[in-house]
């Protein structure tokens, strides 16, 4: 029997092939512009799928808009890098290829970025959600006041619940997810102190089934309105749809996940801060700044589901809350 | 904390635990049979992903969850044939082969999802509750026992079926024989490779079914890496259950109920903050502890992971 050894080799090659697919995610190189001395190239490394209707999609949509407006010339995207080491390899790869700005879209990518950025002093890196640039001159960071949109969603949710029980499904108690959850709870209780906001963190950004079970758990405890953050919420929205429970989204417009039940979504609009960073890099400033998105700067926005029959006074209260958050007459406690 | 011990909340928690146990149970039952025949498959997770995507995509396209279920089963069966060819025919090292299957499943389903579906799109799952009419008149106990979907009952009915298959049939006797002493079985005229291939195909079909259940019964959607490690936990539950179907079921139920208890305790604000992170690890930690205890008492199939060649 000679062929097993040969077959083991073939198997190893299969493993390498699979690793290439799994590790690199979807390398969507949309380089319609040839590299020239003047073209500005941006690369994005993000943890989940480009069209996850959540965290990754928000940044992909933003760079696409900048590309469409000719603010940047070329975009390359590596998504699906939920393994941090894979993300580190992708970030380093883009830096070696000479991209002008490398976007590391995940608070978990700080470790590898801190190691990689000093090796490429001519390349600018931007990462988030985070507020730390590690004191490096070629690193920007960005974050979002997701508590603001969470607060508005909470105000609206508290007016729609009939059971006075609202369920929240978070991934891990960090970053913009925690800010959103805390803001949502503050908004709901500011609107109606009798509302009981029940919060569950599943411990994972990607465990869709755990999110579904968390939603089921909330519903069995009486919740008639749910919300949640991160890409794993697709599991929870399925359960909400099945039980006719209302849903509030964040990060991207989640109406396609349930046109009958999604009331509103907080939408991240990273294009403003990215455009700012691109302009600075073009001017020779490669880092050292932290950008924070708020309602005031147009970095976040509340999008309502037009198919959902939301009472006009409730919608008006949402706008009044946004105005209050902008002028400072309302605070989220964060 | 006292709120947790009300009948309503305990019932809801146990019901959730039973539901969460189903994918683990199905995958672990199949893997137990495969391991009893001497073949370890670390690729259960990858096969679950392929079964899940097949079920999701077929349901999305045909609007029929039954067809989705069938496609999940067939995808698992097909992966079983591939794994049988790799390990039984070509005698490849089982541990590495399994990891290859896992990585292939992870990458391939992500690629297919991106190219064929794109944005997550909800599907209508298989949510038929055949015993629900009994739940309506039998209070909380009835809710606990009779409010489940058809796939849950199928999963638990497979426990005695697999027990009967392994302990009461000629095929089961052969499975155990080739897993303990394949050369002796071969001497007695048993087709070692044939029995092992059949056990692998059965195991992978169950893994495909487990993936389909995740999609059709729990999530009703698909997302990259949907299984989130459940296939690996299922393998641990095989050791936890000492390769016996009833004990595997006990392990799956324990894992599911601990997971649901953690969720309920969080929702009731009994645990919060940093304790939440520790609590979320509880099911895995519990499994490891029991594994350590159990593995000292019960040995694994003697020929597990050992390829069979007649001239060896």
A47 and B CB contact within 8 Å: no
Q: Which CATH number fits domain B2-120+134-293: 2.40.50, 1.10.3470, 1.10.3210, 1.10.10?
A: 1.10.3470
Indicate yes or no: CB of B220 within 8 angstroms of CB of A238.
yes
Q: What is the DSSP letter of B281?
A: T
Indicate yes or no: CB of B92 within 8 angstroms of CB of A217.
no
Chain A residues whose beta carbon lies within 8 Å of the beta carbon of residue B193: none
Q: Which residues, at least 6 apart from A208, have a Cβ–Cβ distance to it below 8 Å?
A: A232, A234, A235, B219, B221, B223, B226, B228
Indicate yes or no: CB of B267 within 8 angstroms of CB of A200.
yes
Q: What integer pLDDT is reported at residue A146 of this predicted model?
A: 94
The average pLDDT across A27-49 equals 67
Is it the case that residue A327 has pLDDT exceeding 70? yes
Q: What integer pLDDT is reported at residue B60 of this predicted model?
A: 96
Residue B168 Cα, gap to closest chain A Cα (Å): 35
Q: How many helices (H) and strands (E) does chain A have?
A: 10, 13
Closest CB from A200, A237, A238 relative to B266: A200
pLDDT above 90: percentage of residues in chain A: 70
Give the separation between CA A143 and CA A135, rounded to whole angstroms: 17
Kind of pairing between the strands at A101-105 and A41-45: parallel
Closest CB from B93, B100, B125 relative to A18: B100
Residue A129, preceding peptide bond in cis (omega within 30° of 0): yes
Indicate yes or no: CB of B223 within 8 angstroms of CB of A238.
no
Q: What integer pLDDT is reported at residue A23 of this predicted model?
A: 44
Q: How many CB atoms lie within 10 A of CB B2?
A: 7
Residue A280 Cα, gap to closest chain B Cα (Å): 33
Q: What is the DSSP string of A134-201?
A: TT-TTEEEEEE-HHHHHHHHHHHHHHH-SSSEEEEEESSSSHHHHHHHHHHHHHHHHH-TT-EEEEEE
B268 and A CB contact within 8 Å: yes
B117 within 8 A of A28, measured Cβ to Cβ: no
Q: Check the CA dihedral B200-B202-B203-B208 and report its sign.
A: positive
Q: Across the 312 residues of chain B, what is the mean pLDDT of every consecutive 10-residue run?
A: 82 93 97 96 97 97 96 97 95 93 94 88 86 80 87 96 96 95 92 96 98 94 91 92 93 92 90 78 80 72 86 62
Chain A residues whose beta carbon lies within 8 Å of the beta carbon of residue B84: none
Reported as a single tens digit per residue, the pLDDT across A172-194 is 888 889 999 999 999 999 999 99
Chain A residues whose beta carbon lies within 8 Å of the beta carbon of residue B127: 242
Give the separation between CA A31 and CA A23, rounded to whole angstroms: 21
Locate the chain B residue with the closest alpha carbon to A215. B263
Give the separation between CA B19 and CA B69, rounded to whole angstroms: 17
A250 within 8 A of A180, measured Cβ to Cβ: yes
From residue B306, alpha-carbon distances to A306, B41, B97 in Å are 61, 12, 13
A77 and B CB contact within 8 Å: no
Give the separation between CA B61 and CA A98, rounded to whole angstroms: 42
A126 within 8 A of A103, measured Cβ to Cβ: yes
Give the separation between CA B24 and CA B209, rounded to whole angstroms: 11
Strand order in the sheet with A41-45: A27-30, A74-78, A41-45, A101-105, A124-128, A139-144, A290-293
Indicate yes or no: CB of A18 within 8 angstroms of CB of B96.
no
Mutation target for A interface from B45, B103, B127: give the one with most A CBs within 10 A.
Answer: B103
From chain B residues 182-221, the ones with a CB under 8 A of any chain A CB are: 214, 218-221
Q: What is the DSSP letter of B299?
A: P
Reported as a single tens digit per residue, the pLDDT across A104-134 is 999 889 999 999 999 999 999 999 888 899 9
Tokens representing residue B49 in the block: 């992903």
Locate the chain A residue with the closest alpha carbon to B18. A213
- The angle subtended at Cα A325 by Cα A320 and Cα A327, nearest 5°, is 95
Give the separation between CA B276 and CA B282, rounded to whole angstroms: 10
Domain ranges of chain B: 2-120+134-293
Locate the chain A residue with the closest alpha carbon to B119. A51
> Number of residue pairs across A and B with CB atoms under 8 Å?
186
Q: What is the pTM of this model?
A: 0.85
Is it the case that residue A8 has pLDDT exceeding 80? no
Give the separation between CA A256 and CA A63, rounded to whole angstroms: 21
Q: What is the DSSP letter of A224?
A: S
Is it the case that residue A169 has pLDDT exceeding 60? yes
Is it the case that residue A96 has pLDDT exceeding 80? yes
Tokens representing residue B95 in the block: 């541990």
From chain A residues 230-259, the ones with a CB under 8 A of any chain B CB are: 231-232, 234-235, 237-239, 241-242, 256-258
Q: What integer pLDDT is reported at residue A19 of this predicted model?
A: 47
From residue B266, alpha-carbon distances to A167, B6, B84, B86, B263 in Å are 11, 16, 44, 45, 5
B192-213 and B170-180 helices, crossing angle to 10°: 110
Indicate yes or no: CB of A213 within 8 angstroms of CB of B113.
no
The average pLDDT across A224-249 equals 93
Locate the chain B residue with the closest alpha carbon to A258. B122
Residue A180 Cα, gap to closest chain B Cα (Å): 15
Locate the chain B residue with the closest alpha carbon to A178. B273
Q: What integer pLDDT is reported at residue B66 of this predicted model?
A: 95
Indicate yes or no: CB of A7 within 8 angstroms of CB of B86.
yes
Give the separation between CA B51 and CA B73, rounded to whole angstroms: 7
Locate the chain B residue with the closest alpha carbon to A12. B100
Q: What integer pLDDT is reported at residue A3 of this predicted model?
A: 45
Q: What integer pLDDT is reported at residue B140 of this predicted model?
A: 79
A319 within 8 A of A168, measured Cβ to Cβ: no
Chain A residues whose beta carbon lies within 8 Å of the beta carbon of residue B122: 234, 237-238, 241, 257-258
Indicate yes or no: CB of A209 within 8 angstroms of CB of B226.
yes
Strand order in the sheet with A196-201: A196-201, A165-170, A225-228, A246-251, A262-268, A300-304
SS3 label, residue A329: coil
Indicate yes or no: CB of A202 within 8 angstroms of CB of B93.
no
Locate the chain A residue with the closest alpha carbon to B9. A221
A77 within 8 A of A63, measured Cβ to Cβ: yes
Q: How many CB atoms lie within 10 A of CB B188?
A: 10
Q: What is the DSSP string of A301-314?
A: EEEE-TTS---HHH
Indicate yes or no: CB of A173 within 8 angstroms of CB of B277.
yes
Indicate yes or no: CB of B103 within 8 angstroms of CB of A19.
yes
- The angle subtended at Cα B211 by Cα B210 and Cα B216, nearest 5°, is 95
Indicate yes or no: CB of A199 within 8 angstroms of CB of B90.
no
């Amino acid at each position: 029997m000679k062929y097993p050894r040969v077959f083991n080799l073939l198997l190893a090659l299969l493993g390498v092939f699979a690793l290439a697919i799994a590790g690199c995610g979807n390398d969507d190189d949309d380089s319609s512009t040839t590299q020239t001395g003047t073209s500005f190239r941006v690369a994005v490394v993000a943890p989940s799928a480009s069209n996850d209707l959540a965290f990754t999609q928000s940044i992909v949509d933003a760079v696409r808009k900048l590309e469409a407006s000719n603010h940047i010339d070329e975009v390359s995207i590596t998504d699906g890098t939920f393994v941090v080491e894979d993300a580190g390899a992708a970030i380093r790869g883009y830096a070696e290829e000479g991209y002008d700005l490398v976007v590391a879209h995940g608070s978990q990518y700080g470790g590898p970025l801190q190691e990689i950025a000093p090796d490429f002093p001519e390349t600018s890196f931007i990462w988030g959600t985070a507020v730390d640039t590690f004191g490096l001159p070629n690193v920007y960071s960005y974050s979002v006041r997701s508590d603001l949109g969470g607060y508005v969603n909470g105000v609206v949710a508290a007016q729609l619940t009939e059971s006075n029980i609202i369920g929240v499904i978070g991934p891990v108690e960090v970053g913009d997810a925690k800010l959103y959850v805390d803001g949502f709870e503050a908004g709901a209780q500011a609107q109606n102190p009798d509302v009981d906001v029940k919060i569950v963190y599943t411990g994972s950004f990607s465990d869709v089934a755990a999110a579904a079970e968390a939603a089921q758990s909330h519903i069995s405890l009486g919740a008639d309105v749910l919300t949640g953050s991160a890409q794993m919420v697709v599991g929870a929205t399925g359960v909400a749809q099945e039980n006719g429970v209302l849903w509030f989204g964040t990060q991207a417009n989640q109406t396609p996940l349930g046109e009958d039940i999604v009331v509103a979504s907080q939408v991240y609009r990273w294009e403003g801060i990215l455009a700012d960073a691109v302009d600075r890099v073009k001017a020779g400033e490669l880092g050292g700044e932290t950008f924070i998105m708020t309602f005031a700067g147009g970095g976040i926005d509340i999008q309502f589901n037009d198919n959902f029959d939301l009472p006009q006074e409730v919608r008006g209260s949402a706008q009044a809350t946004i105005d209050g958050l902008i002028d400072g007459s309302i605070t989220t406690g964060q | 904390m006292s709120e947790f011990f009300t009948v309503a909340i305990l019932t809801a928690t146990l019901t959730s635990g039973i539901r969460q146990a189903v994918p683990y149970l199905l995958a672990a039952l199949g893997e137990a049979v495969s391991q009893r025949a001497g073949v370890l498959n670390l690729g259960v997770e990858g096969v679950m992903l392929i079964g899940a995507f097949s079920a999701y995509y077929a349901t999305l396209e045909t609007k029929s969850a039954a067809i989705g279920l069938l496609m999940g089963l067939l995808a698992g069966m097909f992966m079983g044939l591939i794994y049988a060819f790799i390990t039984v025919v070509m005698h490849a090292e089982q541990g590495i082969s399994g990891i290859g299957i896992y990585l292939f499943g992870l990458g391939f389903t992500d690629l297919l999802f991106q190219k064929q579906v794109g944005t997550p799109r909800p599907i209508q799952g298989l949510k038929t509750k055949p015993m629900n009419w009994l739940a309506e008149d039998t209070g909380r106990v009835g809710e606990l026992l009779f409010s489940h979907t058809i796939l849950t009952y199928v999963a638990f009915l497979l426990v005695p079926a697999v027990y009967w298959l392994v302990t009461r049939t000629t095929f089961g006797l052969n499975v155990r024989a080739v897993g303990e002493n394949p050369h002796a079985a071969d001497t007695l005229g048993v087709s070692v490779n044939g029995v092992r291939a059949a056990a692998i195909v059965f195991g992978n079909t169950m893994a495909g079914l487990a993936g389909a259940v995740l999609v059709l019964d729990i999530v009703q959607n698909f997302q990259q890496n949907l299984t989130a490690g459940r296939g690996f936990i299922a393998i641990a539950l095989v050791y936890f259950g000492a390769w016996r179907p009833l004990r595997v079921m006990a392990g799956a139920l324990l894992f599911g109920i601990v997971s649901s208890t953690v969720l309920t305790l969080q929702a009731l604000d009994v645990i919060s903050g940093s304790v939440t992170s520790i609590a979320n690890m509880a099911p895995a930690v519990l499994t490891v502890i029991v594994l350590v205890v159990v593995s000292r008492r019960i040995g694994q199939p003697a020929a597990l992971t050992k390829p069979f060649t007649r001239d060896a």
